[in-house]
Amino acid sequence: MSSEVNTDFLHDKRLDAIAADLLRPVGISKGFLIWMGFLTISLMGCIYAYYIQWDKGLIVTGLRDYVSWGMYIANFIFFVATSLVGMLISSVLGLIGFKWVKPIARIAEIIAVAFAAVAGLVIVSDMGRPERLPYVFMYGRIQSPILWDVTVVTTYMVLSALLYFIPLIPDLAISKGRMGHQPKWLQATYEFLSVNWNHSSYQYKILLKAVRILLILIIPTAFAIHTVTSWLLAVTLRPGWDSSIFGPYFLTGAFVAGSAAVVIMMYFVRTNYKLDKYLTVYHFDMMGKLLVLVSIVYLYFNINEFLVPAYKLKTADAIHLHELFVGEHAMLFWSVQLLGLILPIILLLFKFFRKPFPMLVISIVVLVAAWFKRYIIVVPTQENPFLPKQFVPHAWMVYQPTVIETAITMGTILLAVIIITILFKLFPVIPIWEMAEEECSGEKDKHQE
């Protein structure tokens, strides 16, 4: 983000064209209503599943004595992971000065807000007595990573929300006068949220300062959120979790999942909103390169995470790794590693696969694999505890997720999609003022057509 805003674009004709393009998808369309209706009805089903769990307790899930963290915690880690991309795109790449992230930054921020917000709920889904949630704050221990996690997830969510909202303010002001055809409440919302924005250079200066603070602040926070999440597992002595590189292992994995999620959303915006002028082949190419980069780093951590214990083969690690490499979970483990990591790295090295559609397909595979990777991290470890209990029924030793549990997990994903849909539909997804400023000041990246 540059240190000063050239406000010439405000008086340029090209602003009108850009605003018209980017505001076209905004508003309550028929497609939006149908899609939201579908999402809402599906969500109702999932809420019913949660009602059953609320009523009967966690016995309706596959969680038992051995595996007490199943799909839910895997899902939680997945949510936190995916949300991290907001920081990667806006802060790391933005602060370095890559211009191509400008039209993507808001998409990344929306993903961050939606996934961080729902992550908190996902944790509640894992609680047998959710009405005791306030106890975390009443009796929480500062020594416990759980409290640290609650703290950083909340902080990260607030930071992401601010980082979404503040750069949106000028857009809201620009849009205000151009939404005659929109419902009254939406116009009022824009009016309210645009906090008297009048494009004065003074306001731009404040905005840039605030955004800069947030961009810097969110980097350590994002590192903290996923490192602490990894500590929830790594501070225990269990094989497979007892690792000193769990923090960076999780963090780099998060960038893979998040980048894939961003690509999927970009593809959606590009085709459905017909914004291929703004999200060009070039942007996909760059995201493809980013995905390769983060995947290679993640691969590096994977090699460390598995090779070192596999070389030493301490008794408990040996059992655990056997389960992963050739045992019960081998199928899932190798699918995730090959399809979700190694294959994408190889494919994305070729320019052809960095085109929008191949990127979409690859990203979907990567994102799904990312979910199962969390499952592979959470579940197998618990099936082989250090101190096995005697005479435990077989059903308590292995984990078999139930339909109810799956439905609840689906519900959380639906909820994230609903939040994303609403933010996509009610506000411009691509920053109007930044596009216009770039266009009018001729600063556009040269590669971009």
Partner 1 sequence: MKKRYLSLLLIVLISFRLSAQEWVVPAENGAKLSPFAFSDSTRKAGAVLFQTNCKSCHGDPGKNNAIALVPPPPDPASAKMQGNSDGALFFKLVSGKGPMPSFKNTISSTDLWRVISYIRSFNEKYVQQIAPKSGIAGAAENVKVLLTWSKETNQVQAVISAMKEKRIQPIAGAEVKLFAKRYFGNLLIDEARNTDAQGKAIFNFPKDLPGDSAGFVQLSARLTDDAAFGEAKADTTLAVGVPTYRPPLNEQRAMWNVVQKTPIWLLLAYIFTVLAVWSFIFYVLLQIRAIYKAGINKNQDTIDS
**Residues found near partner 1 in the complex (CB under 8 A):** 10-11, 139-143, 148, 151, 155, 158-159, 162, 166, 169, 173-174, 176-178, 195-200, 202-203, 206-207, 209-210, 213-214, 217, 221, 390-391
Give me the half-sphere count of Cα atoms (radius 13 Å) on the Cβ side of residue 243. 25
Given a contact cutoff of 8 angstroms between Cβ atoms, the answer to whether 36 and 421 are in contact is yes
CB 233 to partner 1: min, Å? 17
Q: How far is the CB of 160 from partner 1 (least distance, A)?
A: 11
In the complex, what is the shortest distance from the CB of residue 26 to partner 1, in angstroms, rounded to a whole number? 15
Q: Please report, as a single letter, which amino acid is at residue 436.
A: A
Burial class (CB in 10 A: 0-12, 13-18, 19+), 336: buried
Task: Tell which residue, 272, 276, 273, has the closest CA to residue 356.
Answer: 276
Please state the closest distance from residue 142 (CB atom) to partner 1, in A.
5
CB 431 within 8 A of CB 19: no
Give the nearer residue to partner 1 in terms of CB position, either 41 or 388: 388
HSE toward the beta carbon, residue 62, CA cutoff 13 A? 22
Q: Please answer whether residues 118 and 418 qualify as being in contact, where contact means their C-beta atoms are separated by less than 8 angstroms.
A: no
Decide whether 202 or 352 has the Cβ nearer to partner 1. Answer: 202
CB nearer to partner 1: pick between 227 and 295: 227
- Would you say 291 and 363 are in contact if contact means Cβ atoms under 8 Å apart? yes
Q: Of 393 and 449, which CB lies nearer to partner 1 in the complex structure?
A: 393
- Residue 75 phi/psi, 5-degree rounding, is -65, -40
CB of 393 to partner 1, least distance (A): 11
| Minimum CB distance to partner 1 smaller for 48 or for 223 | 223
Nearer to partner 1, 23 or 341 (CB): 23
Helix ranges, 313-402 (H): 315-325, 330-337, 343-348, 356-383, 394-397
Q: Shortest Cβ distance from residue 94 to partner 1 (Å)?
A: 16
The one-character DSSP state at 351 is: G
